[in-house]
Amino acid sequence: MKQKNTGWYLLFTAPLIIIFALVVLVPFVMGFYYSFFRWDGISANPMTFIGLSNYTALMGDEDFYTSAWLTIKFTIMAVVAVNVLGLGLALLVTSKLKTVNYARAMFFMPNLIGGLILGYIWQFIFSDAFRVLGENFGFESIFRNWLLDSSLAMYALVIVFTWQMAGYMMVIYIAGIQGIPGDTIEAAKIDGANSWQRLKSVIMPLLMPSFTICLFLTLSFSFKIYDVNLSLTDGGPVGSTELFALHIYNEIFGYSNYGYGQAKAVVFFLLIGAVTLTQVYITKKREVEM
Amino acid sequence: MKASKSLWGSLLLVPFLLTACGEDDSGENGLDEEAESAGERITIFQDKVEISDQLEELAAEYTEETGVEVEVWGTTGSDYFQQLQVRLNSNQGPSIFSIQQYTELERIHSYAYDMSDEDYVQYIAQDMELEYEGNIYGVPYGLEGFGLVYNKDLVDPSEVTDYESFVQTLQRFEDEDINGISLADNSFFMIGHLSNYPFSLQDDNYEFVQQLNNGEISLTDYEEFQELGLFMEAIRDYAPNPMEVSYDRQIGDFATGQTAMIHQGNWAAPMFDDYELDFEIGMMPFPLSGNDKLAVGVASSWVINNDKSDEEIQAANDFLEWMFTSERGHEYIVEEFEFVPALTNIEADNLDPLSQEVLDAANAEQTLPWSHIYYPANSVRNNLLPPTEEFFLDDSITPEEYIENLDEAWDVAAEEDE
């Protein structure tokens, strides 16, 4: 009986497994393989096996460290901003506001717009719209072209990413909040807990599963950010926002160092893997059973 | 037991079904491929978005006349070379493609067909063929030239002939509350084209780039580069920050008389069709170190894929031959594509004013060669742009420091490209 079911399961997952293998596993293994070669990406040109040289060259690559550090900085800011805002919005729209349904739709909407387009829209806001605001209303220390300032451009990127992702995380948090039984909260109320205490000691612990998912998603999304990065700043000004995915793309297609870029991608993969798995391990441990 | 047997049977079917679908596809492709290797069908992949529609019309006419099917693949322009590379790699390359830079040809020359013995190469204007190790691999699309595009009501070219007069002119415009000059925020418009002048003014610009790549010389030792720094400083002082000026805004401000000069090429001429200009425009040399010539070169060349069957290569040759020698082909090149012809057997009249100046300069042999086609691949965007952005953002960087930064950036580019 059991054997029979396994067969059926295999049958129905076969198409997915085949597609997954073709578009994820095979390219992944090939990428790993290419990282041991010096190659410019043109099949007619020679591919020279150079062992681990690409990886040793990484050690002394200053651009690599700069880009890694920028990515880490971005990720920290983005994860905090997205989750704080996402949770805040979720609490807001599960309260007794009259317009909750509209509010939910509104907050989720940015997530439906593709990252490239979002980047171009915000590029207009940060450069032209801000300049006009500054010229007309003063406050020119804030209202100027953010994308031309090496330090502000990073914040601009965080703002756009937060705007895009907070609604998505909000939906996950809403599901978590609605999964908390009403009687638990009511019991806390009767015991005299005020709303801050209820949030801190009842809702938060019971929301841990949602935190696990949301932190995992935001961590991996912000590490891998590419589309918004490309369209909003394109790594500029003066390379101050060239995050890792863009950096690897430029290494491979800009400088045509195929093997070297692949080596960077492998290191990048290991880094994301390590960080996200650690995070999942830590937050899983803090999840409580009802 | 029975059930599980049929189940495993159906499981086994899955791969068959998949391969069956696969065969269907390859069957279709197979037909195309057969037609291709028999020379009855060719494919073209090129990088100029501006001419895609017109090229398709040309292809349709050619098919009608000869029966050979011609398929034109669409392009987005900006990542053309990457796409070409991917297609060639997966053996799905086109029969005819285009190449922009000499350094691109160096990389994929094994895919380029040696057309030195073909009939049509005799019509290529002098020194405009795409050559590699003495053989001809490409026929130019057309000539393109750049310099200072100026408003004839505001600027007299005889007054802008060197650094001093250039700055005086900018000073005068500032007093009159007009932008003297503007650049646009694209790596080529900001530094790529401008950086040509000091290179092209050397005796042998190709050799100069090679020496620079090998680290034998430094940009800072050359007077022309120091002067480029001064010119950039003048632009920083008198022009709006180029990073805030889009191509559209640059053209718009010029067309409405708010800017007197822009550094652009004849490719910008069609953009003026959207405006009713109430003044005449012209193109004059950028007066670096007293330069009095326009920089004229070939933006793209037609190349035939060597990795195809002899019949398909022959068919591609026939197509090019037809385009370069027939009357209809000539009409398309001049009137539909709006190219400044780089072929001696084409008469060009009715050119727009900027293209006309380019053609006049070419005919009078008063041109500077292009040097950026020899730069390390992608170095304008990846290496030369960042120090330039920095220079325009930070007023405390002196012209000497800027040229030093460019020199350092070049070393990195040459190293990455080796």
Q: What residues contact A213, with CB distance under 8 A and at least 6 apart?
A: A172
| Mutate: best of B104, B105, B246, B382, partner A, most A CBs <10 A | B382
B197 and B238 in a common domain: yes
Profile chain B (418 residues) by mean pLDDT over runs of 10 residues: 45 43 42 72 86 88 91 76 84 89 84 90 85 90 92 91 93 92 90 94 92 92 94 94 89 93 89 86 93 90 91 92 90 86 83 89 88 86 90 93 94 80
CB-based contact B386 A238, cutoff 8 Å: yes
- Return the sign of the alpha-carbon dihedral for residues A176, A177, A178, A183: positive
Rounded to whole angstroms, the Cα distance separating A143 from A137 reads 9
Phi, psi of A149 (to 5 degrees): -110, 120
Beta carbons of B147 and B294 less than 8 angstroms apart: yes
Has residue A275 been placed in a domain?
Answer: yes
Rounded to whole angstroms, the Cα distance separating B12 from A191 reads 63
In chain B, the residue whose alpha carbon lies closest to the alpha carbon of A260 is B416
B196 and B110 in a common domain: no
**Pairs of residues, one from chain A and one from chain B, whose beta carbons lie less than 8 Å apart:** 70
Beta carbons of A264 and A251 less than 8 angstroms apart: yes
Residue whose structure tokens are 């090998």: B214
Please list, residue by residue across B153-167, b when 16 or more beta carbons sit within 10 angstroms of its beta carbon and e when fewer do. ebbebeebeeeeebb
| Chain B interface with A: residues with Cβ < 8 Å | 3-4, 7-8, 10-11, 14, 18, 79, 82, 85, 88-89, 107-108, 110-111, 241, 243-244, 307, 377-378, 381-382, 386-387, 389-390, 393, 416-417
Q: Which residues of B touch A11 (CB under 8 A)?
A: 7, 10-11, 14
* Spacing of C-alpha B260 from chain mean position: 26
Q: Which residues of A touch B378 (CB under 8 A)?
A: 254-256
Q: Which residues of B touch A255 (CB under 8 A)?
A: 377-378, 382, 416-417
A4, A45, A148: residue with CB nearest B4: A4
B79 and B60 in a common domain: yes
Residues of chain A with pLDDT under 70: 1-3, 289-290
Q: Is A43 on the interface with B (CB under 8 A)?
A: yes
A43, A237, A254: residue with CB nearest B381: A254
Q: Which residues of A touch B245 (CB under 8 A)?
A: none
Q: Which residues of A touch B389 (CB under 8 A)?
A: 236-238
Q: Tell me the CA distances in angstroms from B357 to B51, B352, B374, one per residue in order.
A: 22, 9, 25
Has residue A81 been placed in a domain?
Answer: yes
* Domain total of chain B: 2
B166 and B135 in a common domain: no
Has residue A52 been placed in a domain?
Answer: no
B218 and B280 in a common domain: yes
CB-based contact B7 A40, cutoff 8 Å: no
Q: Is A127 on the interface with B (CB under 8 A)?
A: yes
Distance from CA of A6 to the nearest CA of B (A): 10
The confidence score (pLDDT) of residue B151 equals 93
B305 and B284 in a common domain: no
What are the tens digits of pLDDT across the range A113-146?
888 899 999 998 988 888 888 888 877 777 888 8
B264 and B406 in a common domain: yes
B138 and B150 in a common domain: no
Rounded to whole angstroms, the Cα distance separating B130 from B137 reads 6
Beta bridge partners of B41: B69
The confidence score (pLDDT) of residue A98 equals 79
Beta bridge partners of B298: B143
Q: Say what angle helices B385-393 and B223-238 make with each other, to 10 degrees.
A: 50
Q: Is A134 on the interface with B (CB under 8 A)?
A: no
B67: left (phi over 0), alpha (psi -120 to 50) or beta: left
Has residue A197 been placed in a domain?
Answer: yes
Quickly count: other Cβ atoms within 10 Å of residue A139's Cβ.
10
Has residue B282 been placed in a domain?
Answer: yes
CB-based contact A7 B7, cutoff 8 Å: yes
Q: Which amino acid is at B220?
A: T
B310 and B247 in a common domain: no
Has residue B274 been placed in a domain?
Answer: yes
* Spacing of C-alpha B122 from chain mean position: 23
Beta strands in B202-350 (DSSP E): 259-265, 281-284, 294-298, 301-304
Has residue A47 been placed in a domain?
Answer: no
Q: Which domain holds residue B218?
A: 144-296+368-417
Per-residue DSSP letter, B299: S
B119 and B210 in a common domain: no
Q: Say what angle helices B310-325 and B2-37 make with each other, to 10 degrees.
A: 50
Q: Is A210 on the interface with B (CB under 8 A)?
A: no
CB-based contact A237 B243, cutoff 8 Å: yes
B258 and B395 in a common domain: yes
Residue whose structure tokens are 């060197």: B162
* Domain total of chain A: 1
- Return the sign of the alpha-carbon dihedral for residues B28, B30, B34, B39: positive
Has residue B328 been placed in a domain?
Answer: yes
Residue whose structure tokens are 């000091």: B198
CB-based contact B107 A18, cutoff 8 Å: no
CATH number (domain holding residue B183): 3.40.190.10
Rounded to whole angstroms, the Cα distance separating B242 from B245 reads 5
Q: What residues contact B296, with CB distance under 8 A and at least 6 apart?
A: B143, B144, B145, B358, B361, B362, B367, B368, B369, B370
Q: Say what angle helices A208-223 and A258-285 make with each other, to 10 degrees.
A: 170
Has residue B337 been placed in a domain?
Answer: yes
Residue whose structure tokens are 């932190």: A215
Q: Indicate the pairing of strand A48-49 with strand B259-265.
A: unpaired
The confidence score (pLDDT) of residue B126 equals 78
For residue A207, which of A264, A286, A119 has the smallest C-alpha distance?
Answer: A286
Q: What residues contact B306, with CB distance under 8 A and at least 6 apart?
A: B110, B111, B112, B113, B114, B313
Q: What residues contact B91, with CB distance under 8 A and at least 6 apart?
A: B307
Has residue B22 been placed in a domain?
Answer: no
Beta bridge partners of B317: none
Judged by DSSP in three states, B10 sits in helix
Burial class (CB in 10 A: 0-12, 13-18, 19+), B265: buried
CB-based contact B18 A18, cutoff 8 Å: yes
CATH number (domain holding residue A133): 1.10.3720.10
DSSP secondary structure letters along A59-94: HT-HHHHHHHHHHHHHHHHHHHHHHHHHHHHHHHHT
Has residue A12 been placed in a domain?
Answer: no
Has residue B3 been placed in a domain?
Answer: no
B140 cis-preceded (ω within 30 degrees of 0) = no
The confidence score (pLDDT) of residue B418 equals 63
Q: How many degrees, rounded to 5, is the angle at CA B104 between CA B319 and CA B40?
A: 20
Largest CA distance in chain B: 97
**Total count of residues recorded for chain B:** 418
Please list, residue by residue across B56-86, b when 16 or more beta carbons sit within 10 angstroms of its beta carbon and e when fewer do. eebbebbeeeeebbbbbeebeeeebbebbbe
Rounded to whole angstroms, the Cα distance separating B278 from B291 reads 29
Has residue B5 been placed in a domain?
Answer: no
pTM of the model: 0.78
Q: How many degrees, rounded to 5, is the angle at CA A184 between CA A181 and CA A187?
A: 145
CB-based contact B389 A237, cutoff 8 Å: yes
Domain boundary among B310, B344, B378: B344
Token pair listed for B340: 């400044």
CA dihedral B335, B336, B337, B343 (to 10 degrees): -40
Q: Which domain holds residue A265?
A: 61-285
B68 and B116 in a common domain: yes
Quickly count: other Cβ atoms within 10 Å of residue B116's Cβ.
12
ipTM of the complex: 0.71
